[in-house]
């Protein structure tokens, strides 16, 4: 077993950091793991702005390769950041704490 922890209750491997990238004051951490019962990759991306967690994106869809799962999450994270930059932000419009 490739040296990863598998939750015996769910059959899902512990998430592994697949990718980390930065975009100005944003940092994105992409995690993927193999879901044995579902026979697909699952994962999430955490988006931090200035070191503070602002958004978590969950992977949807069936991915048979970790690289495809990570690519989907990376694309969705970049789209979120681009959309955030296009919107107006007023002093009273803050992110909710996660």
Q: Is residue 31 part of a domain?
A: yes
Give pLDDT tens digits for 7-39.
555 555 667 778 899 999 999 999 998 887 778
pLDDT band at 88 (very low <50, low <70, confident <90, very high): confident
d(Cα 90, Cα 84) in Å, to the nearest integer?
12
Give pLDDT tens digits for 70-84.
999 999 999 999 999
d(Cα 62, Cα 74) in Å, to the nearest integer?
16
Q: Output the pLDDT for position 16.
A: 77
CATH code for the domain in which residue 30 is found: 3.30.160
- The number of folded domains in the chain is 1
Q: Is residue 53 part of a domain?
A: yes
Total-model pTM: 0.76
The residue with greater pLDDT, 34 or 97, is: 34
Exposed (0-12), middle (13-18) or buried (19+): which is 16, by Cβ within 10 Å?
Answer: middle
């Amino acid at each position: 077993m490739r040296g990863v922890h598998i939750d015996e209750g769910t059959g899902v491997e512990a998430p592994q950091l697949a990718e980390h990238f930065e975009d100005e004051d944003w940092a994105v951490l992409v995690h993927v793991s193999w879901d044995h019962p579902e026979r697909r990759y699952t994962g999430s991306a955490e988006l931090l702005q200035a070191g503070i967690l602002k958004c978590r994106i969950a992977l949807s869809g069936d991915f048979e390769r970790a690289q495809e799962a990570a690519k989907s999450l990376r694309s969705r994270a970049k789209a979120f950041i681009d959309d955030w930059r296009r919107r107006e932000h007023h002093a009273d419009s803050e992110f909710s704490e996660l």
